[in-house]
Amino acid sequence: MKVAIIGTGFVGAAAGYAMVLRNSCRELVLIDANKAKADAEASDIQHATPVSHPVLVSSGTYADLKGAKVVIITAGVNQRPGENRLDLIGRNVDVFKSIIPNITGVEPNAVILVATNPVDILTTVTERLAQLKPGQVIGSGTTLDTARFRTLVSEHVRVDAQHVHGYVVGEHGDSEVVVWSSATVAGMPVKEFCTARNISWSDEIQRSITENIRTAAYQIIKGKGATYYGIGAVLANITERIIRDQRAILTVSATIEQYKVSLSLPRLVGGSGVIAEIGLSMNAEEEKLLQSSADILSEALSKVIM
């Protein structure tokens, strides 16, 4: 199964490398306006295949999108130190106006996976530009934030992160909502698990974890200029779920009619993209915060010139 990545910057290259290490696909094509960069990244990643998995890695052009099951978009300008994700809107909308017609003109059946920030706004922009079937355009959304949530809780309770369940919803950004009310470890609410295991827990610990989730990207960008390993692995994981029709529950981004803008909620993801939206138990305060997050995104979207 073929996968294409448009944009071979830090995120695109990391996603491609993760796919080879994870054996996410059979064929991987890298496309970039800077062809020399795409050529170099494809060669470098290809050299990892003898000690990982036999993925066919190459660079190409939009014509090579033919037959791709998933097209990942990581192209665009990066978030600078001190910038939030919504600051990138104008610059990246213009980039997408040139990219999307080239995708749909060659492979209209591909699932488009958007990773460029602000990912929620650009997912809606992509939906409008592409005019594909509902669910065929997906934003990576808060899948990385959800992974960070589970990681931080797992570190505190000293349990493998795969046995921690909880979601971050709303905007992939400053207004995201960490849904503590339905988070569990081994099927138990986090606080109850901590009590049962004699592990310290308090409102302050909860607030600290929430803050660390929200500011993780800023801290990484401050230290090394960009984030790419975490999101690269997340993009590989989402792609696998689509290619293998694994029907996973992921907090990907897509437009919700109620809000008229894309944001993240738990969704069933399979071979056709988003198959269904899954409900999530939230308390009244979390629902209020989700509405506020949607309002922020709606206001930002209203400023986009299509």
Please state, in angstroms and as integers, the Cα–Cα distance from residue 105 to each residue in 92, 130, 131, 132, 182, following that order. 20, 9, 12, 12, 43
Instruction: Give the pLDDT confidence score for residue 72 in this predicted structure.
Output: 98
Tell me: do 264 and 205 sit in the same domain: yes
Tell me: do 133 and 212 sit in the same domain: no
Tell me: do 94 and 124 sit in the same domain: yes
Q: What residues contact 147, with CB distance under 8 A and at least 6 apart?
A: 161, 230, 234
Instruction: Give the pLDDT confidence score for residue 305 in this predicted structure.
Output: 67
| Structural domain total, the chain | 2
Q: What is the pTM of this model?
A: 0.94
Residue whose tokens read 């978009």: 73
Instruction: Give the pLDDT confidence score for residue 175 in this predicted structure.
Output: 95
Final residue in a domain of this structure, among 124, 139, 154: 139
d(CA 244, CA 251): 18
DSSP E strands in 21-176: the ranges are: 27-31, 56-59, 68-73, 111-114, 137-139, 164-169
Tell me: do 156 and 86 sit in the same domain: no
Q: First-to-last CA distance in the chain?
A: 33
Tell me: do 15 and 88 sit in the same domain: yes
CB 242 within 8 A of CB 114: no
CB 82 within 8 A of CB 123: no
CATH (domain of 27): 3.40.50.720
Domain span including residue 174 = 143-302
Q: What is the pLDDT along the chain (306 residues), one digit of tens a residue?
A: 999 999 999 999 999 999 999 999 999 999 999 999 999 999 999 999 999 999 999 999 999 999 999 999 999 876 666 666 667 787 888 899 999 999 999 999 999 999 999 999 999 999 999 999 999 999 999 999 999 999 999 999 999 999 999 999 999 999 999 999 999 999 999 999 999 999 999 999 999 999 999 999 989 999 998 899 999 999 999 999 999 999 999 999 999 988 889 999 999 999 999 999 998 999 999 999 999 999 999 999 988 866
CATH (domain of 215): 3.90.110.10
Structure tokens at 204: 């302050």
Tell me: do 155 and 290 sit in the same domain: yes
Ramachandran bin of 158, using left for φ above 0, alpha for ψ from -120 to 50, beta for the remaining angles: left
Ramachandran bin of 7, using left for φ above 0, alpha for ψ from -120 to 50, beta for the remaining angles: left
Tell me: do 148 and 104 sit in the same domain: no
Instruction: Give the pLDDT confidence score for residue 304 in this predicted structure.
Output: 81
Final residue in a domain of this structure, among 118, 139, 160: 139
CB 152 within 8 A of CB 292: no
- Please give the positions annotated as active site: 172
Tell me: do 127 and 156 sit in the same domain: no
Final residue in a domain of this structure, among 139, 172, 200: 139
d(CA 59, CA 47): 14
Tell me: do 151 and 107 sit in the same domain: no
Tell me: do 164 and 210 sit in the same domain: yes
d(CA 103, CA 114): 12
Apex 22 CA angle, 33 and 228, nearest 5: 45
